[in-house]
């Protein structure tokens, strides 16, 4: 049995979030939370909250045992990009691209 949690429009680029997501994929929930707690990156704090939400969903909706849960999948997709303009010299402008992410964490039992 699987349960998931989704965060949409996370204001960090998918490339930076995928680095942290790759470290917890396939790990047990306790081990993944320990990794995220010690990780200094900004994405780790958000992924820790998302993982605890997925665990709470599994516990409440599916009556799953928290000790047996594994991080089955972590999907990081690109969300819409914000495009901004920054004035430059001689009347020109450069485009600033602010990327964002959609993140899905799926937890399930080890069976």
CA-based Rg of the chain, rounded to a whole angstrom? Answer: 17
pLDDT of residue 43: 97
pLDDT digits (tens, 9 = 90+) for 64-85: 899 899 999 999 999 999 999 9
Pairwise CA distance, residues 87 & 93, whole Å: 4
Residue 34 exposure: Cα atoms within 13 Å on the Cβ side: 5
pLDDT of residue 1: 85
pLDDT, the chain, mean: 95
Domains of the chain: 2-109 (3.90.470.10)
pLDDT of residue 111: 66
Residue spans of the chain under pLDDT 70: 111
Read off the tokens for 67: 């000790």
Under 8 Å between Cβ of 58 and 69: yes
């Amino acid at each position: 049995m699987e349960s998931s949690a989704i965060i949409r429009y996370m204001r960090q680029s998918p490339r930076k979030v995928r680095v942290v997501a790759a470290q917890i994929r396939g790990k047990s929930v306790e081990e993944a939370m320990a990794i995220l707690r010690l990780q200094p990156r900004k994405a780790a704090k958000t992924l820790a909250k998302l993982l605890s939400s997925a665990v709470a969903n599994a516990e409440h909706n599916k009556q799953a045992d928290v000790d047996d849960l594994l991080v089955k999948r972590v999907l990081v997709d690109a969300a819409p990009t914000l495009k901004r303009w920054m004035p430059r010299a001689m009347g020109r402008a450069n485009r600033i691209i602010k990327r964002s992410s959609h993140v899905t964490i799926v937890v399930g039992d080890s069976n």
